[in-house]
Chain A
């Protein structure tokens, strides 16, 4: 089952909830886009505030429609995220260097492979973080996210082997908040 399928089933079940719960969820989703809008605009005249209110409402509606309103990022997760980002940036730079060398070499040594790397028992959020990190590092690309593994297209077999060693996976596990 892919992530998208799961989302649509969630959306279907979310619509069966009573109205009171909907309001509660709306109140839980709304603060983030509100703060985000104020931070980005920095203007407080009525027109822009009204436009902001409209876009926050649209965002909340879209979040609900996509069945994502049960997701909320906990504070401890947000606090651990910068450290993970720093580590990931280092990885991105290292693997960028290898791919850059391939691009400029007269005869690029390409041996593309598609293999799967285990990703069992990951919470939904970690799964997204892991798959996105794989794609973000040049040289590896997540093709398919399944319940217990991720299909990876890599320019070289060594790219998948590095993932299988699991350093990135354990970092992701550490970053995920224990609720």
Chain B
């Protein structure tokens, strides 16, 4: 195995771990807003690391360009959707968990 393959494997594993962590956080965190933070790990670090890992394994340049474009679009659309969700939740008065509250 070459160095690049090992590096790609490490990135893919780290990405998978980040995605898993996001899922676990969704279950463990107390309210809508904190859960969004957990989902954000899947969104940014998880997707980013996996795409970088795949980028090291491409066999042609056009695949690489497409992966980069996907990366760019995830970085643009992910936070926008998250922001709109949180904005809507706040406007509709979804209760916010504070330290010391009971878990829902």
Are A103 and B83 within 8 A (Cβ)? Answer: no
Given contacts A99-B25, A141-B36, could you give 17 more A-B pairs where the C-beta distance is less than 8 Å? A36-B69, A39-B65, A42-B62, A103-B29, A103-B38, A110-B29, A112-B33, A112-B34, A112-B97, A112-B98, A132-B79, A132-B80, A133-B79, A136-B75, A136-B78, A143-B86, A145-B83
Question: With A42-B62, A103-B38, A141-B33 in contact, do A85 and B69 touch (Cβ < 8 Å)?
Answer: no
**A-B pairs with lowest CB-CB distance, top 7:** A135-B79, A103-B25, A96-B45, A132-B79, A138-B40, A136-B79, A111-B99
| Chain B residues within CB distance 8 Å of chain A | 18, 21, 24-25, 28-31, 33-34, 36-38, 40-41, 43-45, 48, 62, 65-66, 69, 75-76, 78-80, 82-83, 86-87, 90, 96-99
Interface residues of A in 51-94 (CB under 8 A from B): 85, 89, 92-93
Measured CA separation A139–B98 after assembly (Å): 15
Q: Which residue of B lies closest to A108 (CB)?
A: B28
Indicate whether A135 sits within 8 Å of B40 (C-beta atoms), given known contacts A92-B48, A112-B96: yes
- Number of interface residues, chain A, beta carbon within 8 A: 36
In contact, A139 and B37 (Cβ under 8 angstroms): yes
Q: Given the complex, which residues of A lie within 8 Å of B98, measured CB to CB?
A: 112
Complex contact A141–B96 (CB within 8 A): no
Nearest chain-B residue to A2 (Cβ)? B87
